[in-house]
Amino acid sequence: MSFNPKQSAPTLLCARQITKTFGSLTALDAVDLDVTRGEVLCIIGPSGSGKSTLLRCLNQIERFDRGAIWLDEEMIGYRQEGDTLYELDDRAVARQRLACGMVFQRFNLFSHMTALQNVMEGPVTVLKRPRQEVRKEALALLARVGLSDKHDAYPAQLSGGQQQRVAIARALAMKPKLMLFDEPTSALDPELVGEVLTVMRDLAASGMTMIVVTHELGFAREVADRVIFMDGGRIVETGAPDQVLGEPSQQRTKDFIAAVLS
């Protein structure tokens, strides 16, 4: 598959014809996606539409069956020699994965580590950076997500919203080029959703490139530069938030938004 990402600058992420099947189920059906540097893209759609699978393919948690993805001009998961693609080994994939920070529905914090230790673990263990330097940065990140007073707390001592904010700080500690959020508020009690969305708004305002799978339509309308509606493993509609959420052109999008807002 030929593509020269340098021709598309300032594109940070380019995905072409991404296809993923699970047995007889086609989870992603030839999806094309471009994300520019500093863009906030929100993906909405019903359960089973392929939203989370797309994020997992972008972060190489799932291997896609067909297509190609470039992140910052580098093909991910494969190396290309002439017209032939060769799968990268696990070590090379792990190196590439560092460029994407991912925040999941569940927080996946290490229960035996404090908030500070959770944030420091990746830079110290994976990147082999000096502990004192990392500690200073980790404390700054916890302050950034409003948890400077919780650095010695263990996950069990934190609310769900606080745990998710630690998870965001942990992802940011690896200094990713792209942040992926997979319904980061779906596991939270309603009163805790706002504190996580506030952190995400601040990230968006800072210029972080973000792809957010969400059911929070108000957040998407406020923060997103672009909204995508997915259904059946395909991108059905894409455009500015006011267009997709306010005046969608596709009946399937209209039906979904009406159902969410009812």
pLDDT at 26 > cutoff 70: yes
Average pLDDT of the chain to the nearest whole number: 93
pLDDT at 235 > cutoff 90: yes
CA distance 62 to 54: 9
Confidence of residue 187 (pLDDT cuts 50, 70, 90): confident
Q: Which of 185, 233, 209 is nearest to 62 (CA)?
A: 233
CA distance 72 to 62: 20
Helices (H) and strands (E) in the chain, counts: 9, 12
pLDDT for 191? 87
Mean per-residue pLDDT for 198-217?
A: 95
Q: Which two tokens stand for residue 229?
A: 């509606």
SS3 89: coil
pLDDT at 106 > cutoff 90: no
Mean per-residue pLDDT for 229-239?
A: 96
Confidence of residue 261 (pLDDT cuts 50, 70, 90): confident
pLDDT for 81? 85
Quote the pTM value: 0.92
Predicted confidence (pLDDT) per residue in 118-136, tens digit: 999 999 999 999 999 999 9
* Secondary structure element (H or E) that encloses residue 160, with its range: helix 160-172
CB atoms within 10 A of CB 155: 20
DSSP label at residue 76: S
What b/e readout covers 237-254, taking b as 16+ CB neighbours within 10 angstroms? bebebeebbeebeeebbe
13-17 CB contacts, 8 Å cutoff, 24+ apart: 13/58, 13/69, 13/70, 13/71, 13/178, 13/209, 13/211, 14/69, 14/70, 15/57, 15/58, 15/67, 15/68, 15/69, 15/70, 16/67, 16/68, 16/69, 17/66, 17/67, 17/68
DSSP label at residue 157: G
Q: Which two tokens stand for residue 100?
A: 């994407």
Predicted confidence (pLDDT) per residue in 58-103, tens digit: 999 999 999 999 999 999 998 888 888 888 999 999 999 999 999 9
pLDDT for 17? 96
